């Protein structure tokens, strides 16, 4: 018998392995797709959300602007409050996300008495300059994120969070 011939035993092995493979794949594919769904879901860009902050009252000192929006978390809808650090640079309104780029704590403006004119994260003493730039030698590896901003009827509207555009590196 030549080597190329498939024996009865080999044939059965191949067919059973093949069929078994298809059955296993048929079971696993839906389960895996089910599990990774959140990774593959696309989220539309967020709308601009109104705040109660009057743009005219902003100064060059960052103030805490709180706002709330309806958050849809799968089957759970809720009213969520969030905040931004907002100030004016000349005529331009700048809104920074307070989420520390180290491990996600909340930073405060002049949050530490020993560091004036800086954002400070109390968790691991991360520090940022006023434009959100992370200060070398403190834990954060990048600058604070920014909110897109809009003005409507004199009120400040906050949009999606974008990477910091103010810090030049």
Residues that bind other proteins (CB under 8 A): 35-36, 38-39, 41, 43, 71, 73-76, 102-105
For 57, the 3-state DSSP assignment is helix
Which residue, 66 or 71, has its beta carbon nearer to other proteins?
A: 71
Report the nearest approach of other proteins to the CB of residue 74 (Å). Answer: 5
Report the nearest approach of other proteins to the CB of residue 3 (Å). Answer: 36
Report the nearest approach of other proteins to the CB of residue 53 (Å). Answer: 22
Report the nearest approach of other proteins to the CB of residue 113 (Å). Answer: 24
Strands 49-54 and 155-162: antiparallel
Measure the CA dihedral 161/162/164/168, to 10°: -170
Pick from 92, 85, 96: which is nearest to 61 by CA? 85
Which residue, 82 or 93, has its beta carbon nearer to other proteins?
A: 82
Which residue, 83 or 105, has its beta carbon nearer to other proteins?
A: 105
Pick from 140, 136, 141, 129: which is nearest to 167 by CA? 129
Residue length of the chain: 169
């Amino acid at each position: 018998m030549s080597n190329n011939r498939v024996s009865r035993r080999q044939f059965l092995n191949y067919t059973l392995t093949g069929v078994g493979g298809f059955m296993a794949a048929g079971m696993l594919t839906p389960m895996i797709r089910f599990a990774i769904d959140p990774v593959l879901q696309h989220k539309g860009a967020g709308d601009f959300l109104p705040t109660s902050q009057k743009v005219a009252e902003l100064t060059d000192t960052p103030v805490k602007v709180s706002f709330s929006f309806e958050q849809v978390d799968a089957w759970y809808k809720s009213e969520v409050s969030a905040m931004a650090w907002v100030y004016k640079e000349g005529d331009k309104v700048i809104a920074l996300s307070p989420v520390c780029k180290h491990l996600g704590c909340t930073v405060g403006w002049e949050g530490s008495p020993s560091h004036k004119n800086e954002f400070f994260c109390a968790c691991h003493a991360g520090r940022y300059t006023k434009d959100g730039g992370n200060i070398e030698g403190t834990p954060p590896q990048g600058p604070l994120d920014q909110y897109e901003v809009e003005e409507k009827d004199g009120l400040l509207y906050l949009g999606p969070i974008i990477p910091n555009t103010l810090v030049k590196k």
